[in-house]
Amino acid sequence: MNKQHTPLEVLRNGFRVYNQTTGKSAATVRWYDDRLTLFERFVGVGATLADVNVATVREYVADLQARTVLNPNNKLGARREGGLSSSYIQGFVRTLRAFSSWLFNEGYTDDNVLKAIKPPKIQQKVKDVLSDNELGRLLKVFDQDDPFGARNFAMVMTFLDCGLRAAELCNLKTDEAHLAQGYLKVLGKGNKERLVPIGQRCQEALVLWRDRFRSQFEVAESPYLFLNANGTHLTPDALNEVVKRAGRQAGVPRVHCHLLRHTFATQYLCREVGDPLRLQQILGHTSLEMVRRYVAVADVQQSLLERRSSPMDLVLAQDGPRRQARQVQPRRRRGLHVVK
């Protein structure tokens, strides 16, 4: 049998099993499979191994760059309106390159056919963060005497004080929240565990939720610290909706879970709580590249607060007192006053 005629669906399923059996997290396995599924749909009915080639992949990337929504008929793209970001499109290229490497290692292809494909350059944007005023307004939204208010306040405080990802917060278990000792044991990307310190205010919010209100939500015994209204596992989508709703109530509609993570990282550096290397460990990044972006944002914010970065202010300060503006008399022209 010519391997080039092997259905793409069969190969995608084989790649999914490979990822599952090599220790990748369930989220990573799903991430790869979702993107390969969308590529398979782009190729069309009867897609085979022969369609995994440089020309087709480049056509797919160009198609993604031209889209204003990933897939209007599928939940995978329902939240991507307004054009796909370069980093999001790069994820598809990374998936297809990993798939191509697997095909080569498994003997389906004679060489790594997509090795020459270069991911599109990511547009480097300044990280958006919340101002102190916006933070204050957001935190005032929650009524800590109400079960939902106490839960939501504790979750937002954990984002802002620990910089967790949405999935990490949802998957945080009660016995992993060592509140008396002041730290959380977090399971991050790649099934890597890390210890994250918590401050006193966050600790108080978590204790209030856990000891006073959590039992009101729990229907069956659940290991997770945060529960939904039905007493079951809170999902990242539901968590993000809680955060967005709070943002709208506070008059800060751009709030979302990852924005709170960005805000934590910038505040951590601006307030001189710790160094970039420690921040990398807390955030769970494998390299310092992302942390460098936070350092850049923190430096700019600090200079704005201190107002020491204006070169013309320094130059004119050396020139003595500012000259008084010369009074200009209105001119007369053909009997008319020129009014400035």
What is the dihedral sign for C-alpha 76, 82, 83, 84?
A: negative
Whether residue 165 lies in the annotated active site: yes
CA dist., res. 231 & res. 228, Å (int): 5
For 177, the enclosing helix (H) or strand (E) is strand 177-178
Whether residue 258 lies in the annotated active site: yes
Residue 109 near residue 17, CB atoms below 8 Å = no
Residue 158 near residue 198, CB atoms below 8 Å = yes
Among 3, 127, 189, 244, the active-site one is: 189
Among 12, 24, 151, 261, the active-site one is: 261
Whether residue 5 lies in the annotated active site: no
Among 35, 97, 165, 262, the active-site one is: 165
What are 98's two structure tokens?
């990993």
Whether residue 151 lies in the annotated active site: no
Which residues touch 85 (CB under 8 Å, ≥6 apart)? 123
Q: Let me know the angle formed at the C-alpha of 139 by 135 and 140, rounded to the nearest 5 degrees.
A: 115
Whether residue 41 lies in the annotated active site: no
Residue 208 near residue 216, CB atoms below 8 Å = no
- Amino acid 128 reads D
- Residue whose structure tokens are 């259905």: 7
CA dist., res. 303 & res. 291, Å (int): 18
Q: Measured between alpha carbons, how far apart are the two ends of the chain, in Å?
A: 86
Among 3, 245, 258, 293, the active-site one is: 258
Whether residue 178 lies in the annotated active site: no
Instruction: For residue 194, give the nearest of 150, 163, 166, 153 by alpha carbon.
Output: 163
For 193, the enclosing helix (H) or strand (E) is strand 193-197
Residue 279 near residue 294, CB atoms below 8 Å = yes
**310 CB-contact burial (10 Å; exposed 0-12 / middle 13-18 / buried 19+):** exposed
Q: Which residues are catalytic, by number?
A: 165, 189, 258, 261, 285, 294
